[in-house]
Amino acid sequence: MFLDINYLAALIVVLTLHEFSHAWVANRLGDVTPERNGRLSLNPLRHIDLLGTLMLFIAGIGWGKPVPINPRNFKNPGRDEAITAVAGPIMNLMIALIVAIFVNYMPPNFLTDFFDATLDLSLVLLLFNLLPFAPLDGSKFLILFVPARSRARYQAFMDKSMPYFLIFMVIDLYFLKNVFGFSLVWTVVSTVFFWLKTAILVVV
């Protein structure tokens, strides 16, 4: 699927806008770190992550290059870091809503497959990035709901948890899928994806 030219083009658009939104929101909230690192840009080459892209082709789930931020530059570090994190998934939702209008009402033409692919990838990235695992955006947004007394331990665990996340993904996508015929992550993501896509296409 992802070797299709329409999905490749959609992937570049969706990932670029996702990561750019992190940089833009961080900049608006007072942190110029993304701008200094060249991430306040719509140049796709600044946002494509090699490992995340490879995982997309290997496992069907991927991510862009994380946008560097310095929470100390925020007026309210905990809140503003969470807002910056959720900006990416919100951008994906906005893209999905806009593209759904074209999918619903535009007569079939050479862009039809591209808009379909953009809608699908926007929703997949939205849902996947909201999973509560580092380095995904959901892990940073979830801290708002962690009791204050436990936030330091939560953050310390998240800072070291990426290897565990990758191990979990390998076990889930290969061992569980090959042995038991299902993937926990894909079961959750695909189920919510189906209902969310159906609802968006009905609403718009």
So which residues are the catalytic ones? Answer: 19
3-state secondary structure the chain: CCCCHHHHHHHHHHHHHHHHHHHHHHHHCCCCHHHHCCCCCCCHHHCCCHHHHHHHHHHCCCCCCCCCCCHHHCCCHHHHHHHHHHHHHHHHHHHHHHHHHHHHHCCCCCCHHHHHHHHHHHHHHHHHHCCCCCCCHHHHHHHHHCCHHHHHHHHHHHHCCHHHHHHHHHHHHHHHHHHHCCCHHHHHHHHHHHHHHHHHHHHC
d(CA 104, CA 112): 10
Q: Rounded distance, CA 102 to CA 108, Å?
A: 10
